[in-house]
C-alpha cells in the first residue's frame, strides 16, 4: 500500500485496485486508522477530528490528484 503523504502523526495511504468507492486510508502512528471517501470526504472510522485534521485538509486539496 503506497504512502501518498505523511504528517507528523499520520500517513495517507491508498491500496491499488481496492474496492469502490474511491477512498484512502489514514493511519495514525499508533496504528489506529480510518477511511476517507475521496469524493464526499465521508469518514469511516472513529478517530477524533484533531487527529485527522491535517490529512482531511490534504485530501480535500488533492482530490483531483487522487
pLDDT tens digit string along 5-55?
999 999 999 998 889 999 999 999 999 999 999 999 999 999 999 999 999
| In a domain? residue 51 | yes
Residue corresponding to grid cell 472513529: 46
For residue 32, what pLDDT is reported? 97
The pTM for the full model equals: 0.89
**Under 8 Å CB-to-CB from 8, ≥6 apart: which residues?**
none
User: Which 3 state secondary structure label does DSSP give 39?
Assistant: coil
Domain count along the chain: 1
Residue 23 in domain: yes
pLDDT at residue 16, rounded to an integer: 87
- Domain containing 14: what range? 3-61
4 — phi, psi (to 5°)?
-85, -35
Residue 55 lies in a domain: yes
Any domain includes 66: no
Contact in structure between 54 and 65 (CB atoms under 8 Å): no
- Examine residue 37 and state whether it is found in any structural domain, yes or no: yes
Amino acid at each position: 500500500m503506497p504512502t501518498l503523504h505523511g504528517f507528523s502523526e499520520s500517513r495517507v495511504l491508498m491500496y491499488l485496485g481496492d474496492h469502490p468507492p474511491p477512498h484512502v486510508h489514514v493511519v495514525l502512528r499508533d496504528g489506529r486508522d480510518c477511511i476517507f471517501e475521496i469524493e464526499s470526504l465521508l469518514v469511516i472510522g472513529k478517530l477524533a477530528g484533531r487527529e485527522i485534521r491535517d490529512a482531511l485538509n490534504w485530501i480535500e486539496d488533492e482530490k483531483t490528484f487522487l
